[in-house]
Structure 1
Amino acid sequence: MNGMFYKVGELARATGLTVRTLHHYDHVGLVRPSGRTHSGHRLYDESDVRRLYEVLALRQLGLPLEDIGAALEGTSDLGELLTRHRDHVDRQLVAMRTLRAHLTTMLAAVDGQAGVTGFLALIREVTTVDETVKQYFSETQLAELAERRSRLGEQEDVQRRWQDLIPRVQRAVETGVDPASAEGRALAAEWMGLLEAFHGGDTGLRDSLYRMQADNSERIQREHGGPSPEQLEFIRRASAS
């Protein structure tokens, strides 16, 4: 400290920044030193130091340098900048949640020694989201579904249970089982339990799932083996009884 001024090296040590960073802030006009020594070295006064700490505070929030400069100069509304940045962070969090869920699924495959071919096939499966699905689920919901999938992946019998249940419901429809009977109610309870494992009681996820199924029932039945409208009507009546 020389009088009321910091040299660039002294300010770097005091703030934990590098001299290169302070030079860059000067270069882009973010924190410019108020003075120079006779030999041309930068000198920062108290107002420069105060501005530097304002920059660091906003940088800690993750704002880019150009937005920080605009906010400090008053050419941009700070509240609007923070709101926009918060929305950006929210999107990053959603992406990270999805990535973590995918990694969990991949680790389970590695632990199960799926082999390179099976592992690569799994990567394609879990990272590719059908465009139809994107129309019905938000990014946040897709992240929740990925997380739920990674958890359900640990329960190897979930898919088998669906494959077993749908034909049993179809037989009940074909043989004229009364949906209100004990057999019908038991099938409905099993069906709703499996759906609960999928949406976890989240009404938004549940409603998005139902809308997607209603709008794409023929494709879902053709490509994934059901459920058919008749099966869904049977479950609806059985659940209501």
Structure 2
Amino acid sequence: MNGMLYKVGELAKATGLTVRTLHHYDHVGLVRPSGRTYSGHRLYDEPDVRRLYEVLALRQLGLPLEDIGAALAGTSGLGELLERHREHLDRQLVAMRTLHAHLTTMLSTLGEQAGVTDFLALIREVTTVNETVRQYFSETQLAELAERRSRLGDQEDVQRKWQDLIPRVQRAVETGTDPASAEGRELGREWMSLLEAFHGGDPGLRDSLYRMQAENSAEIQHQHGGPSPEQVDFIRRATQG
């Protein structure tokens, strides 16, 4: 810089910022000019320009101006601010992943001739998550489930398979079929295959699913038709060993 001084217009032109932005930074105390001309115009020296660079670097990371001021003043640790910002970005990424999966599902499901009623019904379907489910699955897991749903495509086919399988398992329970028999193990294999389509082998999703079912079995059976504790026990024994 060689001791150069910049008027506000010159600094704005050199940096690509607007004069209004520089005035605002001065007003909120982020970047205050070190000097003034005789007529009162702002003059920025080398330390001021360096300070402006620091502000812009932190602003580029998405930090709000008040956090930038605290960080540069040393009243708040920069590492803490960046960690908080990363957590915010993580939440945004999860939201974007979920939205992308929902849009993919909508595009694959809605035909060109779909009416507004169909569209609104689908929106309700893909955006409404039962509060019970939210108790067991994190936002990241819900985003993963939404992505898996969009990749798998036809969810009605999966639902039909469950509707066919659960009554067959119930008949096996009622007739006293040995879970270790060939019939029992085949039912267990079908059951686990459908569960695999849900959790994709992710142990976290699998454990959350099992815990939700165990703690809400009566409600799940009443509202969604199963599975009952007896059916779950049958499948557990059919898949042992």
2:174 paired with 1:174: yes
Residue 122 (structure 2) aligns with? 122
Select between 215-224 and 6-15 the one with higher mean Cα deviation: 6-15
Structure 1 vs Structure 2: percent identity of aligned residues? 85
- Cα distance, 1:13 vs. partner? 2.2
- Cα distance, 1:38 vs. partner? 2.4
Residue 18 (structure 1) aligns with? 18
Q: What are the equivalent positions in structure 2 for 1:1-241 lying under 5 Å apart?
A: 4-111=4-111, 113-154=113-154, 156-241=156-241
Q: Residue by residue, what CA displacement relative to the aligned partner does 1:81-114 show, whole Å, maximum 9, x if unpaired?
A: 1111211211121122222222222222333644
CA–CA distance in structure 1, aligned partners of residues 10 and 190 of structure 2: 70
Q: How many aligned residue pairs are there?
A: 241
CA–CA distance in structure 2, aligned partners of residues 216 and 233 of structure 1: 15
Which amino acid is the alignment partner of residue 118 of structure 1?
A: D
- Runs of at least 5 residues in structure 1 that lack an aligned partner in the other structure: none
- Cα distance, 1:117 vs. partner? 1.5
Which amino acid is the alignment partner of residue 87 of structure 1?
A: E
CA–CA distance in structure 2, aligned partners of residues 167 and 122 of structure 1: 28
Select between 101-110 and 223-232 the one with higher mean Cα deviation: 101-110
Partner-residue secondary structure (3-state), 2:4:
coil
Preserved CA contact (<8 Å) 2:37 2:43: yes
Preserved CA contact (<8 Å) 2:3 2:46: no
Select between 123-132 and 204-213 the one with higher mean Cα deviation: 123-132
Which amino acid is the alignment partner of residue 206 of structure 1?
A: R
- Runs of at least 5 residues in structure 2 that lack an aligned partner in the other structure: none
Preserved CA contact (<8 Å) 2:188 2:238: yes
CA–CA distance in structure 2, aligned partners of residues 153 and 113 of structure 1: 19
Which amino acid is the alignment partner of residue 169 of structure 1?
A: V
Preserved CA contact (<8 Å) 2:179 2:235: yes
Preserved CA contact (<8 Å) 1:109 1:119: no
RMSD: 1.8
Which amino acid is the alignment partner of residue 217 of structure 1?
A: S
Which amino acid is the alignment partner of residue 27 of structure 2?
A: H
Which amino acid is the alignment partner of residue 175 of structure 2?
A: T
Select between 141-150 and 29-38 the one with higher mean Cα deviation: 141-150
Partner-residue secondary structure (3-state), 1:147:
helix
CA–CA distance in structure 2, aligned partners of residues 36 and 110 of structure 1: 64
Q: Residue by residue, what CA displacement relative to the aligned partner does 1:96-146 show, whole Å, maximum 9, x if unpaired?
A: 222222222222233364432122112112211111111111121122122
Which amino acid is the alignment partner of residue 240 of structure 1?
A: Q
Select between 83-92 and 58-67 the one with higher mean Cα deviation: 83-92
